[in-house]
Amino acid sequence: MSGGMGAASMISRIQAIIFDFDGLILDTETPDYRSWQAAYAEFGLELPLTVWQANIGSVDLFDPYLYLEEQLGRSLDRTAVHARRRILDDELIAAQTVLPGVADYLDEAGRLGLGTAVASSSRHSWVDPHLQRLGLSNRFDRVFCRDDAGDVSKPHPAVYRAALTGLGLLPEQAIALEDSLNGVYAAKAAGLACVAVPNEMTRHLDFAEADWRLESLATMPLAELLLRIG
């Protein structure tokens, strides 16, 4: 992790901050895991976090239905499991608010003249209503989801490439903020500098691939971060 370029010089090079959504703006990941834990518990089983973590930041690297069936040794009514789990998941997510520091980073980006965007492995049908609920729909210049990138999710860099194309920027002109390893891999594969901001689900993972790590966006102002990763 490097430093040394002045903040003014760094800001003149960087033109946009690109935010992941799930786990970075809104903690949907902890509720998702908790609701799956409850689903497994109905069958007297556990879902280890180490197993679940492989899919955080992506959508198709782990199939919780298949894993549950493998542990049970039989097939199950996936529709019924989904319905029960979805009720709990929605309740837990509805109680979540914008994660610390996100609003401050958006405010500071505006003061610094930087663009802002979302790049998510989720679809617009998931991201857009949550941004509206959180009062953030008008805070981002653009929102890019996997349905803008051939329905390909992270760690593939497609959604970041779509974001860069949509923003009209080169990779070196933007910084990604990510909470997951899959997100970091996607951003780096697209050529962006990436700051890891782990949450409850990911804070014990090794983010060596990231250019910088923050425990929360609230722990460091954006201008200082630009200075440190310059």
The total domain count for the chain is 2
Do 34 and 20 share a structural domain? no
Residue-wise pLDDT tens digits, 105-132: 999 999 999 999 999 999 999 999 999 9
* pLDDT tens sequence across 49-102: 999 988 898 888 899 999 999 999 999 999 999 999 999 999 999 999 999 999
Predicted local distance difference test score (pLDDT) of residue 7: 46
77 lies in the same domain as 35: yes
Percentage of the chain surpassing pLDDT 70?
94
Catalytic residue at 20?
yes
Which of 94, 118, 142 is the last residue before a domain boundary? Answer: 94
Each residue's pLDDT tens digit, 134-165: 999 999 999 999 999 999 999 999 999 999 99
Does residue 167 sit in the same domain as residue 224?
Answer: yes
Quick check: is 141 catalytic?
no
Whether residue 214 sits in one domain with residue 139:
yes
Query: Does 72 reside within a domain?
Result: yes
33 plus 17 within the same structural domain: no
pLDDT tens profile 7-41: 444 456 899 999 999 999 999 999 999 999 999 99
Query: Which of 94, 117, 137 marks a domain boundary?
Result: 94
Q: Assess whether pLDDT exceeds 60 at residue 183.
A: yes
Measuring CA to CA, which residue among 216, 214, 192, 200 is closest to residue 34?
A: 200
Residue 44 within a domain: yes
- Cα separation, 158 vs 187, in Å, equals 9
Mean pLDDT of the chain: 93
Among 72, 94, 116, residue at a domain's last position: 94
Range of the domain at 169: 7-27+98-229
Instruction: Report yes or no on 1 lying in a domain.
Output: no
Say yes or no: 102 and 182 in one domain: yes
Q: Would you state the pLDDT for residue 58?
A: 87
CA distances from 200 to 13, 24, 53, 58, 179 (A): 32, 11, 11, 17, 10
What's the rounded Cα separation, in Å, for the pair 194 and 46? Answer: 33
Q: Does residue 37 belong to any structural domain of this protein?
A: yes
pLDDT confidence of residue 55: 86
User: Is 16 in the same domain as 53?
Assistant: no
| pTM value surpassing 0.85 | yes
Residues 43 and 146 placed together within one structural domain of the fold: no
Task: Say what percent of the chain tops pLDDT 90.
Answer: 89
Distance CA(135)–CA(81), nearest Å, equals: 32
Contact (Cβ atoms closer than 8 angstroms) between residue 228 and residue 211: no
222 class by beta-carbon count within 10 Å (0-12 exposed, 13-18 middle, 19+ buried): buried
CATH of the domain at 213: 3.40.50.1000
Residues 6+ apart with CB under 8 A from 13: 172, 173
Q: What is the mean pLDDT of residues 204-222?
A: 96
The answer on pLDDT for 1 being more than 90 is no
Assess whether pLDDT exceeds 60 at residue 2.
no
Q: Are residues 72 and 169 in the same domain?
A: no
Is 2 inside a domain boundary?
Answer: no
pLDDT (tens digit per residue) in 164-173: 999 999 999 9
Catalytic residue among 20, 27, 89, 179: 20
